[in-house]
Every structure is written in C-alpha cells, then in structure tokens.
Structure 1
Amino acid sequence: MPENMPFGTPAQFIHPEEKAAQDVANPLMDSHKPVLVSGSHRSGTTWVGRMLAEAPGLLYVHEPFSVTDAPSRGVCNAKFDYWFTYVTRRNEAAFYEPIRNTVRLKYDLAGGLQTYRSIKTTSELLREYTCFLKHRLKGSKALIKDPIAFFSAEWLAERFDMKVVMVIRHPAAFVSSIKKLNWRHPLPHFLAQPDLMRERLHPFADEIRDFASREHELIDEAILLWKLIHHTMIQYRASHTDWIFVRHEDLSRDPIAGYQELYHRLGLEFSARIQRVIERYSGPANPGDTDAPVGSEEILMRNSASNIWNWKNRLTASEIERIRRAVQDISNAFYSDADWLHEPVPILSR
C-alpha cells in the first residue's frame, strides 16, 4: 500500500469493487458504531484494524494521535505534542472538534489545504475528500486504529460512543520487537502530563523519572513501557466489561475463528470474502518473520502461528528471564507459565 494512503481500508487496494458492492448492500451499516482498535504499539493493532476494516461500512483511519506520522490534517486536524497524549474532559478543548470530525468522517478542507499546498498534491486532497464524503453518505463508520491513543481510550469511547478493541501482546514479543527496530521512547512525554502521571502512572513515577533523566538499556526501557501500558490495561479490563480484550497470540493461533468472534461481538458482517483476506494475511505460505519496513504491506502478511514465537529467536535466554522477572506482577494477569514455555492457552475469551 502506498505510504500516502493514511486512512483507506485494505479492500480499497486489494479488491475495491467487491467490497464496494458489499458496502452498498449492507443493511447493518447505519446501526453499528465507530470502532477504536488500540493496545500497546508493536502489539498487532495494524493487523487487527486492517482485518476488521474489511467489514462493509467501516473506513480505516491510521493513528491520528501520532506525533510524527499522523494522517493529513484533512483526515484529522488535531495536533498532538506528546506520544501517548492523555485526553480527558478537562483538556479536550483542543481535540474534541477535530476528533469528532474524524469519527464522523467529515473531511476538514481547511486542514487538508494546510497539508497539500501544491498543485501536484491537489489530487491527493481530492482523493481524501471524496473518500470521506462517499463513506459518510453511505453511512459508514470510522475504524480508528491507534495504539498512541491508548491512554485516551476512555475519553474516545465516552465522547464518541465508540466500541473498543484492546490488543494485548506477550511482554517478550513486545520487547523483542522494540529491540529489533531499535525504537527509543521519549519518557519525558509522560512526565509532561501531570494528569496522566497522577491518574494512571503514579505507581511508576520514580522509574519514569529515572529513565527520563538518563539513558538505560533498550530492553529495560521496553520493559517499562510494557508495564505502563498493561498496568492500565488491567484497570480498563476491570472497569469496562463492554470493551473487547484479545491477546494477539490467540488471534494468531486461529485467525479465522478469532476474527469471526470479533466480528460477531462488534456486530459486523463476516463473509467468505473476508475469510479469504484473513487467510491471505495470516496463512502458512507467508513468512513467520520479515525485515520489511514498518508500514509496508509486506510486514502485515505473516504466518501468524509461527509469528507467535519469534521472540524466542530474537532474545537470549537471559534476556527472556530478565523480562519475565521484571513484568511478572502485571503479566500474570494475562499470561501463564505455559505462555513462556509452551503453546499459549487462550485465557481472555469471554
């Protein structure tokens, strides 16, 4: 998929005619709600979001909360200064209207003109505007895929009546992915948000200050990030029984059954065409691991069952033990001993 396609569903680029026909014919289109797919970054949220966006009547919107890689300002005219911005009713003034427009698939022409300033890019603005207008007139809903919106999920769900899917990833898999990509995180962004620190991250305040003040080993930084996110995930799971929580490993082991269940719980229409797309993106003919660049189409096409255990090849035995010791107080809520040693056993289906 071209990198400048920030919001379109995969069906637009794989088989547009077939999905368009289903969109027109789908009687449920006006009844279902917008969807938020979130969780930690590197947890498979893009795969989950893209496969769910195959449903008739959904339009995929990619990471509007991103600081560096957000879609055009026509798609979302909100500006976020911090990674993992924490939006609540107290500070929503700068974000409410642009996010509402995105959720309603109302294209911001003034914002689009700020992004596409030259004659050469006019066609891109028209493509985005036309796509949003077409989907809005058909009654489509937005599917916002955004791990960076994780700490704002309650605000999004409450203010825009969104259904929420939270993706959980094994801590060793998360850390191994961060290690492979050599991704550093600006820890001061947490400290710059007093409400976030007070309401969500206060048990880790000393650790965050320490990591923000000096560079630590990348593995330890990734461990801390996993703990921050999944500590809050435990709170979300206790408070929001209407949200859907799914482990990446359970979807990966049996994608067809897993996505059928997700479609059912979201009130989406599952079809033979959608099953074929899921098989294409998760089947055994795909590689279990890849060095394809982040954001490319190739990186989504994995042997999902094999991908579950990639972390065992990326991490040393001592690194795995180090991760396990550091996260176990939190990871025990999601993963058993078997998930570190043998084939994982589903524990989150409900």
Structure 2
Amino acid sequence: MNRLGRALRKTKEVASVYSLRLLSRIHPIGFSSPPVVLLSYPRSGSSWAGEVLASSPQFAYLREPITQPYLKKFGGTRTVFNLADEHTGNTVYKKLANEVFSGYPSVFKGVINCKSDFSPFFKKIQQTLLIKEVNPAAADFYCKRYQPFLLVLLRHPAAVALSFYERGWLKHHCEVLNEVGNSDDWKRFGKLYGTFMAEAVEVSSHYQNAKIITYEALVHDPKQQFSDIFADCGISVPENFDSVIEQYCYSNGDLSSGFQTERDSKLTAQKWKTKLTTEQLNSLREGFFDTPLEFYRQPSDWIL
C-alpha cells in the first residue's frame, strides 16, 4: 500500500472511532457494573491474559485505553507512577481514566478490541467493561474512584526484567522513575518491580472486590485458572473456550518479537531461565528482596 493509501486508511479508522465517541455521548451505552480491571506491571503477560478473557462476548475489552493516549498523545514519559505524587501528568491521566470508565473508546489503534461493543446501534447484549492497564501504582485510585472488580496479575520479576532488557527499555525505565544510585540496572529494576507490585497487592488485600493471580499459575493450568477468573467476574466462559485455550496457550507460533498473544505460554514462563546470567539474576534478586512483595521469595523460585 502506498503512502496515500495508508494515510486514507488511517483517516478512516480515526474518523470511525471518533464517530463511536460521538454516538456514545449522544446515546450512552449502559455497561454492567462493576467494570473489571486487569492490572499488571508492563511486560507481565496482561495482553495475553486480556485476549483470553476478551474471548467472552460478555466483555467489552479495552487494551491500555489510559496508558496509550497518555504516552502517545499527551507526551507522558512514565508508564508506572503513583498518582498521589506530584506529577505533571496526573491531571491528564485522571481525565483519561474518567472517559474510559464512562465507556468512551480511545482513538488509538489497538485499544478497542471490537468496535461494535461501543456502538449503541450494534450491541445485542449488555456487556461488562474489561479494562487492561499497566500502572500498578494506580490500583488505589481505580478502586476508590470507580469500584471495579480488580484483577492484579503478578509475574516473576526475572521474566519481566528480561523482557524490558531485550527491548532496550531497562535502563531508561529505571532512570525515568528516578531510581538512581550506584547499583546496576538489574538491581534497580528488581526494587522498582517489587515496590510497585507490593503496593497493588496491598490495595487488593484491603479491597473486597479483588483477586490476585500469577502468570505462572495461569500457564500451568490455563483452562482451570481462566475458568475461575470468569466465574469470579460473573462472566460465563465462551462457547468456544476449548479452542480459545488451545489458540492462546498451546500455539507453536514464532515468539521472537515478544508481542504475540497466541503462543506456547509455558515456554514464555521459563524463558528467563535460559537467557539470564547468574550475575544478572543475583543483582535482580537483591533489589527485589529489598521490597515488601511476598511473592517469589522461595530459593526454588530463583534457580536457573
């Protein structure tokens, strides 16, 4: 496709989503309460988990509808940050969140899973909003303001750190979050991950409508684990649930880009064991153990 063709296609896509936003304001869409928030640290498998959950027609799925416009339209520099801190992006972030939880779709490609879910003229059933986001430090804000059903997704910090490292994000992520000092990037990342996820776990432990899940448990027994999540959210498993699990959990697709959601999920869970050095793992563990997060504390959790 030539440049003009691509530009026209993009213009049509944006116009289509803007039309949805206008329609949803004129004819508000009634979503079931409470909304469901799937919350994790970036690169923790939440896109994969979100796709599996979004296979239910009872969910209207939004993928990072706050983070994506915050970063790409409003110049945000932090993916993870505490909304209680003084930060210039807080007002914008909260405004975007208000729109999202009101059911107004974002204009960014990849955010809306199915456009008809947000059109008052095509909806056949009342759905529940499923919002996948990647700022665990916003857990308290989400719970107090929107009262969602909160799913906190944890993943081994070594797997998350490796994913950041392979994309060249590790150093920048630590520096943007002002985690500076004499320690190396692996140690700094371990401390950041453990600190922010501990905050989200603490919020969920005092919030009635919450569930903590781990990536490792999901990939070990995906059919049972996802069935339990659907039930906890008050959502029926999709009619084609067996094929969904086969597609997203046992696929033999290429994993080289690191962004595929159709995959052999057990392989992705163990990848860090063959990729990290002992030195990197020890540094990461040192920083992580300096945080209050109670998960991944056993010696067996850190064997290469």
TM range (shorter): 0.7 to 0.9
* Alignment partners' CA distance in 2, 1:132 and 1:85: 29
* Alignment partners' CA distance in 2, 1:314 and 1:69: 32
Change (3 A) 1:333 1:139: same
Match of 2:181 in 1: 210
| Partner-residue secondary structure (3-state), 1:143 | strand
Change (3 A) 1:324 1:261: same
Equivalence map 1:73-222=2 (5 Å): 80=76, 82-87=78-83, 94-96=92-94, 98-107=96-105, 131-134=117-120, 138-147=125-134, 149-184=135-170, 185-187=172-174, 189-190=176-177, 208-210=179-181, 217-222=184-189
Deviation at 1:145, TM superposition (A): 0.8
Change (3 A) 1:258 1:324: same
Match of 1:266 in 2: 233
Deviation at 1:327, TM superposition (A): 1.8
Deviation at 1:302, TM superposition (A): 1.7
Match of 1:45 in 2: 46
The Cα offsets for residues 52-73 of structure 1, whole Å up to 9 and x where unpaired, read as: 11222212212133267768x8
The answer to whether structure 1 residue 246 and structure 2 residue 213 are counterparts is yes
Matched AA of 1:104 = S
Structure 1 gaps of 5+ residues are 7-28, 117-123, 192-207, 343-350
Change (3 A) 1:129 1:167: closer
| Partner-residue secondary structure (3-state), 1:300 | coil
Deviation at 1:254, TM superposition (A): 0.8
* Alignment partners' CA distance in 2, 1:175 and 1:163: 28
Task: Give the TM-score normalised by the residue count of structure 1.
Answer: 0.65
Deviation at 1:179, TM superposition (A): 1.6
The Cα offsets for residues 151-202 of structure 1, whole Å up to 9 and x where unpaired, read as: 12222222222111111011111122122222143556546xxxxxxxxxxx
Match of 1:22 in 2: none
Match of 1:195 in 2: none
Task: Give the TM-score normalised by the residue count of structure 2.
Answer: 0.73
Deviation at 1:245, TM superposition (A): 0.6
Change (3 A) 1:182 1:262: same
Match of 1:338 in 2: 300
Structural RMSD (CA): 3.7
Deviation at 1:42, TM superposition (A): 1.1
Residue range with higher mean Cα deviation, 249-258 or 61-70: 61-70
Match of 2:62 in 1: 61
* Alignment partners' CA distance in 2, 1:270 and 1:171: 30
Match of 1:20 in 2: none
The Cα offsets for residues 85-132 of structure 1, whole Å up to 9 and x where unpaired, read as: 433699976555543332232358xxx5xx89xxxxxxx9xx987652
The Cα offsets for residues 288-330 of structure 1, whole Å up to 9 and x where unpaired, read as: x721263xxxx11221122221101110123223322332354
